[in-house]
Every structure is written in structure tokens, then in C-alpha cells.
Amino acid sequence: MMPKREYKVSYISSEAIFAVPAMKPSKVILAMLLCFTLMLSDIYFGASSKIRTYAHDVFMPLSTLVNLPLNLISKSGDVFKTRYTLRKELDEFRIENKKLRVTNQFLEKVSKENEELNRLWSSARLNLNNYSLVKKRTISSNEFQPLLIVDISSDSSIDLNDSLITDKGLIGRVIASSKYSAEVMLLHDVRSFVPVISEKSKLHANIKGGGLGRSGKLQYVKKTAAYELGEKVYSSGIADTFPEGVYVGEIVSIKDLSDSEFLEVEISFLQSPLNQDFYFVYENE
């Protein structure tokens, strides 16, 4: 008979068994030396900062690549704007541009008016208490009888025959007034007569208007009168119609006509009411 064999039964559990081999002493020593080397190099040479700087350079392309989708998404709103939105913005810009242009024009006008007012005040040689500032409203298109309408203050004391003056000289006189406006007969009016005196010859005469754009004429000047071309004439103050010494015009022509017993002396009114917006009304004393 064969001998009986004995068998051992082993049970294997389902739990995993991990075997961790022991680290060799040489590796431990090498790791410690490496750590000490890195620590000393960082302390004495700032190795970590240099490594970190180089790391930034190395990873910069990667960072740009990561942020690229975000940049594309943020800009996609501008790229895909509708045509209606762009047109609306363009219209708004046009409106703002118009507003700026209007504002600039208004400022230019205000600046021009301020310069005009400064010239007026600096030219005032008479009693300042007798001046009232007025602004042109309209001027009629009648060439021979032009009528100037000016705006006046409701508390002003403007009266008939008060003189209208600018920094360049005499303009006319008030022929009618209400609470807020006044009518002015200009020197150019064919109905206008202004007593004047010449600057050099000191001769007295009356100027009669000839219409807008035309010269006035001295009335009844004897041929013995010694007027000169270019001589200036001023208001004489006779009859208290106009204040004395206000510039009126300049002699531009002297003709001795054979069929007339008087000289024909023409006066140019250098001051045009068409180019002026503000005036002084001088209240005659």
C-alpha cells in the first residue's frame, strides 16, 4: 500500500496585500544631500527665484493659449454686433457732433458780441448815465427809407429824437418807441438831415441821406466853401437834435457843377447798420 499524503488547505483572502520594500540607506543619504544642496543654493544664490523666473517664461505660451478662448469670447460681442446697433451708434455720434458744432457757433457768436460790447463801452465819451444798450431786431428792406427796429429794456427811458450811436459813429435817431422796442431813422434815410461841422475848415452844413449803400450830400454849400477831400465831419449839436462831436462820415467827392450855384459835396457814412448787432441810445440832455 502506498503511504497516505497529507494536504494542507490555505485560505486566500480577497484583501490586497502591498509590500513596500525598505529604502536603501544610500538613497536616503543622497536625497538628504540633494535637499541640503538646494537649500544652500537658494540661500546664497537665490536659485528658487531664478528657477521661478525661467518657469514663467516656459509656461507663458501655455498661459496665452489658455486665455485665448476667453479673449475670443470677450471680443465676439463686438465682432457680431448687428448692423442696426452700429447704425444707431453712428446716428448718436452724428447728433453729438451737431451739438458740438452748434455749441461752438454759439460760443463764437457770444465772443463776437462781447468784443462788440467792449468796443462800444470804450468808445463812450459822453455822460455814461445817458446811455442805454439796445440790440438790433430787424431792418427794413426799403433802400431809400430804411427803418431799424431795436429791442430795448422795459425800464429804459428812451424817448423821441434820442441818438443811436456805435463805436464807429452816429447811426440815426429814435422816431418811435414802445415798452420793448424802438424805431430808428438811419442817417442813410432820404428824409434824414444831420447838422455837421467839418474837422479842418470848421464849416457848418446839413447832410441829407441818399439811401443805403449811397453817399449823403451836404446841402446848400456855397462855391466859396473850402472843404477838402478826406476831411471828416462830426455832428455839430445845433438845434440839439444830435449830441455834439460824434463822428458822422468823410468827404469823398467835391464837384463844382456849372449849372448850379452850390457845390456838390458827398459824404460817405463809414458805419453800416447792416454789420452791427448792438448799439447805444444816447438820451439827449
pLDDT in tens, 53-111: 666 667 667 767 777 777 767 666 666 666 677 788 888 888 888 877 877 776 676 66
Q: Residue 36 — pLDDT band, cuts 50, 70, 90?
A: confident
Q: Residue 26 — pLDDT band, cuts 50, 70, 90?
A: confident
pLDDT at 205 over 70: yes
Read off the pLDDT of each residue in 9-21 and give the average, rounded to a whole number: 55
pLDDT at 252 over 90: yes
Cβ-proximal residues to 238 (8 Å cutoff; 6+ apart), any chain = 195, 204
pLDDT at 263 over 80: yes
Hey, which bits of the chain come out as E strands? 131-139, 147-151, 163-165, 170-177, 181-186, 193-198, 204-208, 216-218, 221-222, 232-235, 247-255, 262-268, 278-282
Q: Residue 251 — pLDDT band, cuts 50, 70, 90?
A: very high
Read off the pLDDT of each residue in 227-248 and give the average, rounded to a whole number: 89
pLDDT score for 221: 93
pLDDT in tens, 148-162: 999 988 888 888 889
- Spell out the domains of the chain, with CATH numbers in brackets: 124-285 (2.40.10.340)
pLDDT score for 216: 94
pLDDT at 203 over 90: yes
Read off the pLDDT of each residue in 167-194 and give the average, rounded to a whole number: 91
pLDDT score for 109: 65
Q: How many CB atoms lie within 10 A of CB 252?
A: 14
Percent of the chain with pLDDT over 70: 73
